[in-house]
A and B are shown apart, each in its own frame.
Chain A
Amino acid sequence: MDLALNVLEIIENDPKIGISEIASLTGSLDEEIQDCINKLEMSGIIRKYKTVIDWDKVSGGFIYAIIEIKISLERETGYRVIADRISKFQEVRSVRLISGDHDVSLTVRGKSMKEVAFFVAEKIATLPQVRSTATHFVLKTYKEDGVLLREPEHAHRLSIVP
């Protein structure tokens, strides 16, 4: 297996893992792993090391909403310009161009439903290219970025099996 792909698969699931441990898992030298990760970081393949947090369990945590937007494009500019503009708001967690009824989908985070609603009404809906918005508040997150937000299931195994 390609070393870079192997390293990516390992650190995508465990960004806290040490260089030496990755080396021992892949049968490589520490320097080879360090070099590989440096290249992945410099080329922008690795953008950031992140943590998945179940904010529902934190008192005073966050409210999330998915906002679908219809865009009217101008002759000279594509989606990129409006997407860049929306992306710069710190409340906006993700921005995606999508197929279907709407053009762009956002994930917005705030401290309360009111805060999120006002943000959308004041900052997003008022942009000249935005024709309409549809706001869906997230009531409960069951799985986030591939991680189940509950206790994992285990194989029920006997302790010795031939």
Chain B
Amino acid sequence: MKRTRISDLVQSVPPSGIRRFFDLANQLPDAISLGVGEPDFVTPWHIREACIHALETGYTSYTTNQGLPELRGEISNAFHRDYSVDYDLNDEILVTTGVSEGIDLVVRSILNRGDEVIIAEPCYVSYKPTVVFAGGSPVTVAAKLEDDFRVTADHILEKITDKTRAIMINYPNNPTGATMTRKDLEEIADVAINHDLLIISDEIYDKLTYDGKHTCFASLNGMKENTIVFNGFSKSHAMTGLRVGYALGNSEIISAMTKIHQYTMLCAPITSQMAAIDALRNGDVEMGKMMREYDRRRHLIINGLNNIGLNCFWGKGAFYVFPSIASTGLTSKEFAERLLLEKGVAVVPGDVFGDSGAGFLRCSYATSRDDIKEALQRMEEFLAQIKHTVQYNVV
């Protein structure tokens, strides 16, 4: 028998649970999708215009590995303005091709084989595989509905061993929409300092915080040195396909990350970097408009789900809600698959984002209000259908 050419490490990571679902949804192109983790807004025109201008004026070359100095300068200004955290554009900022690259760089920079990273679950699908690919070992902590999907310091403490190197969190959260208060984060910061752990904080949804104010982890007392903050333009400025994000942190780790970045990615695409500069300089008005529209849809979908009998937690951020389907007696996968095939509505089963997501669905409200209303209507019909079947079976 021919032996496989694929490494044991790569083989050890199962394919993303979302993949199968993606293939299924693709066969039904007319389905209404609440399954999309990106804005339905097209990138604001002034940003696209900046891309065009960059191409027209010949900006098609490499940039410095860390990214264009003007972009790093704007990022530094933005964090000073929004969170009162000061990053030196010379050695504390790295521009990446989206947050995903940045997360990969940081775990590769800090982990030795067998080191552990504590990851709050449910979480974005790439976190655990990224740690595994870096030779590390992901250790998950469940963020539970009864805690409003916030990860607690106590639960983290239970998982710390002498191999733990970092805690990875993402608030506002994909897939639950949960946010953390300053006090919640301070408790985790204490744990990190007492156990000398790095905080890896993916704050890509920071600008989509509807109730209350987002706290940047690095703005907490003493945490700038112990936190790598990740952010980007995909969600706030509807720039997912342009692939540009950034990492902020102490110069030792940023420089290690830059070392890997320079040998692998070299630099983020220059067109996207030019677009990002324009997004930071001129993007606040359009961003505010998108954010207010998301907030309206959030009310629409959460009220709607609760009204049709799916208990839905009031997420305060991102553009996801995470209703429970425990009352239906179906698993997340069964529910999502039947809803797609029988009613043409695509949602993502919650357990794709980790075991603690079992019994939930991720519904994205980054889609038009009309589609949300239609999807809610069909979900109500679907629930009535299941109820009927269950009663029938009992008789």
- Enumerate chain A interface residues (CB-CB to B < 8 A): 1, 6, 9-10, 24-27, 153-155, 157-162
Complexed CA–CA distance, A157 and B300 (Å) = 22
Also in contact, A161 and B36, with CB within 8 A (given A153-B42, A155-B238): yes
Binary per-residue interface labels of chain B (35-70) against chain A in the complex, 1 for a CB within 8 Å, 0 otherwise:
111111110000000000000000000000000000
Beta-carbon contact of A1 and B292 below 8 Å? yes
Complexed CA–CA distance, A53 and B13 (Å) = 56
Complexed CA–CA distance, A10 and B297 (Å) = 12
Residue pairs across A and B with Cβ atoms less than 8 A apart, 20 shown, are: A1-B295, A9-B292, A24-B304, A25-B297, A27-B303, A154-B42, A155-B40, A155-B41, A158-B36, A159-B25, A159-B26, A159-B31, A159-B33, A159-B36, A161-B37, A161-B38, A162-B16, A162-B124, A162-B126, A162-B174
- Is B125 engaged at the interface, CB distance under 8 Å to the other chain? yes
Complexed CA–CA distance, A157 and B38 (Å) = 8
Also in contact, A24 and B299, with CB within 8 A (given A159-B31, A160-B18): yes
Beta-carbon contact of A6 and B40 below 8 Å? no
Q: Which residues of A contact B42 (CB under 8 A)?
A: 153-155
Beta-carbon contact of B296 and A25 below 8 Å? yes
Total chain B interface residues with beta-carbon distance under 8 A: 35
Complexed CA–CA distance, A155 and B37 (Å) = 13
Q: A9, A159, A162 — which one has the most chain B CB atoms within 10 A of its CB? A: A162
Give the total number of A-B pairs whose CB atoms are below 8 A apart.
Answer: 68
- Is B21 engaged at the interface, CB distance under 8 Å to the other chain? yes
- Is B348 engaged at the interface, CB distance under 8 Å to the other chain? yes
Q: Which residues of B contact A9 (CB under 8 A)?
A: 289, 292
- Enumerate chain B interface residues (CB-CB to A < 8 A): 16, 18, 21-22, 25-26, 29, 31, 33, 35-42, 124-126, 174, 238, 289, 292, 295-297, 299-300, 303-304, 346, 348, 352, 369
Complexed CA–CA distance, A13 and B42 (Å) = 18
Beta-carbon contact of B40 and A157 below 8 Å? yes
Q: Which residues of A contact B40 (CB under 8 A)?
A: 154-155, 157
Beta-carbon contact of B238 and A160 below 8 Å? no
Complexed CA–CA distance, A27 and B303 (Å) = 9
Shortest B104–chain A CB gap in Å is 15
Q: A10, A25, A159 — which one has the most chain B CB atoms within 10 A of its CB? A: A159
Which of B35, B41, B289, B295 has a CB less than 8 Å from the CB of A160? Answer: B35
Complexed CA–CA distance, A64 and B296 (Å) = 37
Beta-carbon contact of A25 and B22 below 8 Å? no
Shortest A161–chain B CB gap in Å is 4
Beta-carbon contact of A160 and B346 below 8 Å? yes
Also in contact, A162 and B18, with CB within 8 A (given A6-B292, A9-B292): yes
Complexed CA–CA distance, A153 and B352 (Å) = 31
Beta-carbon contact of B36 and A157 below 8 Å? yes
Also in contact, A155 and B33, with CB within 8 A (given A24-B303, A25-B296, A27-B299): no
Shortest A114–chain B CB gap in Å is 38
Q: Which residues of B contact A159 (CB under 8 A)?
A: 22, 25-26, 29, 31, 33, 35-36, 346
Beta-carbon contact of B300 and A25 below 8 Å? yes
Beta-carbon contact of B125 and A162 below 8 Å? yes
Which of B126, B296, B348 has a CB less than 8 Å from the CB of A26? Answer: B296
Also in contact, A160 and B22, with CB within 8 A (given A1-B295, A153-B42): yes
Complexed CA–CA distance, A101 and B395 (Å) = 84
